[in-house]
Structure 1
């Protein structure tokens, strides 16, 4: 199974419609969900991704321009997922981060070292639903409020926590001036 197959499976499992497409430069994926659409371009290594991503992505976007126009609001939430199979060195990792910060035309996910299904899942996390809901401990709100409002008079905080009327708290504030 190659990298695009891993990505295709992850996106399909996340309820995206996925299509494998070809052009003169090779295969790529197109995907669409309820609010998001995008394209996945694969490169053998980070250097070829860095050198070729802009030209390759412009070609894919130009070929899909009419579909993007028909997608209306989703076009504002379009992604380019740029993946390299081989890991990147430090310098290339910095450049990949810079590519992700370039929001011209689309949002971007640029990752290197995507060789396994787990790597593909990790790269696609911004597009996948939250896997595990966070578990939060119960919080004693009265204690938290008292802890975080150390600059206010204790009587005012006690009135607030006990649910005193606003007028009472305003009188306490005026009296404290």
Structure 2
């Protein structure tokens, strides 16, 4: 399965409308959600991405210019996602980071080593809903309170943990026990 197919599937699962398009010799995806729209360009390796991202993205954005104007507020949330299937070396990784920092026209995500669903998901995280709610272990609150209140009198802590009436706890505080 190629990079564009993997990304297309993941964007569809995230409830984006996705279309595969071609402009001149550039095949790409266009996607749109409630508040975001963008384009995905795939390259075989990071060298090809670095050399061609600007001319290819200009072709795509030129072809989509009227749609971007009609998108109004959404066009402020336009993404250009540039993905390379092969992993990048250190120098290429630095250059990909610099591409992401270039906010001219669109926000950018530039990643290499996108040859699996996991890799694509990692690159698309800024566009995907939170995947998993945090799972917290059960906490014994009485033990936690005892552990964290070592400077308070033991009788006062036990009264609080044991559910003593507020008046009794206040009285203990006032008398300094």
Task: Give the TM-score category using the shorter length.
Answer: 0.7 to 0.9
Q: Determine helix, strand or coil for the equivalent of 2:96.
A: helix
Aligned length: 144
Q: Which residue of 2 aligns with 1:116?
A: 116
Report the TM-score, using the length of structure 2 for normalisation.
Answer: 0.76
Q: Distance in 2 between matches of 1:28 and 1:88?
A: 21
d(CA) in 1 for partners of 2:17, 2:81: 15
Question: Corresponding residue for 1:156?
Answer: none
Deviation at residue 45 of structure 1 after TM alignment: 0.5
Partner Cα distance (1:12, 1:29) in 2: 11
Matched residues in 2 for 1:2 and 1:131: separation? Answer: 23
**Does the Cα contact within 8 Å between 2:86 and 2:113 map onto a contact in 1?**
yes
1:21 — aligned with what? Answer: 21
Residues of 2 paired with 1:135 and 1:6: CA distance? Answer: 28
For 1:26 and 1:65, the matched residues in 2 are separated by 16
TM-score norm. by structure 1 comes to 0.76
Unmatched runs of 5 consecutive residues or more in structure 1 = 145-177
What do you get for the CA RMSD once the two structures are aligned?
Answer: 2.0
Provide the C-alpha distance between the structure 2 equivalents of 1:72 and 1:136, rounded to a whole number of angstroms. Answer: 41
What is residue 79 of structure 1 aligned with on the other side?
A: 79
Residue 169 of structure 2 is matched in structure 1 by none
The match for 2:154 is none
Task: Give the greater-gyration-radius structure (CA).
Answer: 2
